A and B are shown apart, each in its own frame.
Chain A
Amino acid sequence: MKLRDMTELAVRNLREAILRNSLTTLGVAVGVASLVAMLSLGVGLQQLATSRLSKSGLFDSIFVTPKTNLRGPGAGPPATRAAAPKARPLDEAARGEFQRLPDVIEVYPQIRFFTEVRFDGKPFATMVAGMPDSSKSSGSFDGMQGRFFSSGNADEAILQAEFAKELNPQTAALVGKDLVLRYAERQALWPDGSDEGGGFSVVPKERHLRIIGVVETEPASGFGGFGSGRLLIPLAVAETLRAAQVNDLRDVLRDGGGDKPAYASLTVRVKSASLVEATEAKIKAMGFGAFSLLDASKSLRIFFSVFDLLLGIFGSLALAVATLGIINTLVMAILERRREIGVLKALGAADRDVKELFFVEAGVMGLAGGVFGVLFGWLIGRSLTLGTNLYLKRQDLPGVEISAVPWWLVAGAIGFAVLVSLAAGLYPASRAAKLNPVDALRYE
């Protein structure tokens, strides 16, 4: 028989015992739904974790420091220290080199300095931090008051909420106002650049900034920070300030940095977390200290794999129960339809036709169960997300997506349901095919 005729007959047969077949199909659907719901939860949580982490910039970043900084004084006997590759200053040249490495998106220094801000005629002491452009997408600025910097070198400032409250308890009223940043600029002692004695002079300077926003917390900006910044300004602006930083004095003492400002640390961001390892090795080979959080993300992936596996096993148990349902239904159908099988055989159906008919019936039940199951599973995932978000909203936290049903899960679940159903139909189908037509026709 042709497949189309076979399918037509199978669907017709299934429709005939609609209640029993629907219940069986529902059994498959519930099995598939629990499988899909559990896996979608696993996938969703994993996606949530990875997207949060990659947004934070922790897992695609390499933190570079000069070798000497990492070792610090007294890190091992002098003999081993001498054997280390020559330490290079973390200066503009090094930054350029990093920038030219393949897969590097951006290289930026950590600029933080403690200084005084005048607002409304009153002085406030605070920590200023430079924000790279990429921090906009870190998630920390989602749901902020006001807006992010209009450009990379705008004279604008975003206040950290606690600090903003010091300036004015009504933080919303701050947006659009100006403040004055008073800072100490580093100037070379010898303007001609003949940097003989080392050291620098510090000149007080002022800069007017417009407050454009208030944010809850400073985005996690990696290592090397000294306390979190409370006044955030564009990184490019911070760099032009050439403000004296905490490390400056130490640098002068150590290698007589002089005019060329060396960075205390640089953050190198690469395209994806998977590229971190290779880039990190290259930077180390160039003679710098480098560090990343890659290992942490690796163990996270292992955790989620195990998590998915466990959820999958529980889901499969539900599907196994559904499989028994299919076998039962089809075996019952053979008893009930002995006569029909006999008629089909008398009319010239080969054993194979009968077998295929039962097989297709099982497959159709599996397909329908799979489709409905994916739908149910997706709904379960949606409602879990909805419930979670309701809870988060009550806690004044932004919503999250905790379940995800990617296309491979849809296709996989339906395929799995059909496959399991076909396997369940194997025994009933071959039993039906072997039925002796004479006996089957005699059956009343």
Chain B
Amino acid sequence: MAKNRWKSVATIFVLMVATVLLLSGAGAAKTLYVGGTQSLTGPFAEDSAAVLAAIEDYVAYVNDTKKLAPWRQETFPADIKLEVMWRDDELKPPKALSIYEELKSKGMLVARISGSPIALALKDRLWEDQMGATSMATGPYYLSPPQSCFTYYPIYTDSIAAIADWFKENWKKARKPRVAYLTADNAMGRSIEIPEMKAYLQKIGYEFVGIQYVPLVPTSPPTTQLTWLKQKGVDLALGVMINPGSQPTVKEMVRLGMGPNQPYKMTFGVPAPGHAAVFAEAMGTLGNGYVCAGSFRPMDDLATPGIKFCSDLQDKYRKGKRITHIMYEAGVLEAMIQVEALRLAMQKVPFEKLTPRDVLLHGFYQIKNLPTGDISSTPLTYGKGDIEGVDQVRIDQVQNGKSVKVGIYPLRHIYTKK
């Protein structure tokens, strides 16, 4: 009997100690969340999967080393643990809204945008909540106030302007070059259809011919659209497309004898979603002449510190399952920006009192010249009214089946002023 009593007392004591330790442990673990909504189903799935993997790897790196990047001296607070929180929105705005509300209620202080449809649905709500967000989409819709979504490559219109600048610089004929839009038939593709864009093209000496649309992911070759461009004598076709759209388009161009190295001379240029490195890998020499603005460097360019960092992250955290998609770089950038915003905000406001507004004002808006190891075109700078991050646009062209840098041009800040 007495033995049992002692056993009971000992068990209760052990349980009490365990409870106290558990509670104190829970209290000590200070966790901040990064990540946000992802489009892991649908046309952006491949991009989004690479982004998510990179965010997970970067967070693991910061948690393990408390460093922010090999080339940076600053460190992340030792007592704070980062955790990735995400949900799949299937690129459907109503679903993204629910996810955003859920993650916000779980204490997330930063958000992310996974594509143009989500951007259009979330950007004003984010502003109302004073929540800063990194964005995989980068349309001119971000430039009209309110502004709490931050991109890491140029706005599509600025990328288009840079391609136009580059093409015009290399134009040798006496007549005006003829330009047309050949763009994706969705909000992303149509976002370049603003009067300011057309006015800029005409101002720098182009003759604007018209617009043709291609489905975001074409189910049949865009023969009619390309024939129209040929009939109109277009020299430069500009559009916003993702690789599943630009690849079949260029294949059909080649079949119709159109391209910089084809009988009918025409150059086709797109902004970053149609990454030249991804395009070159898939198309090889068939894609020669394809131009992309504001894109990232190829994943095998290990001489670039940022790309080397991406490779090292994968060596450490993704053994046997390496990701070769270029959007891995975008994921590292997004994680870097979110973590930097949280770090800067914590310098002004203690962890316990942090709100999304604090992270926006003392975090995102205070990011100045954030070195990205040359993953982005230039170091990133944000502020009120400055959400574009970069201030120059790099132009890449596919030459001999490889993505080659052919120039860098300043941002022209072309957007609808409201």
Q: Do A and B come from one complex?
A: no
A: which residues have CB within 8 A of B? Answer: none
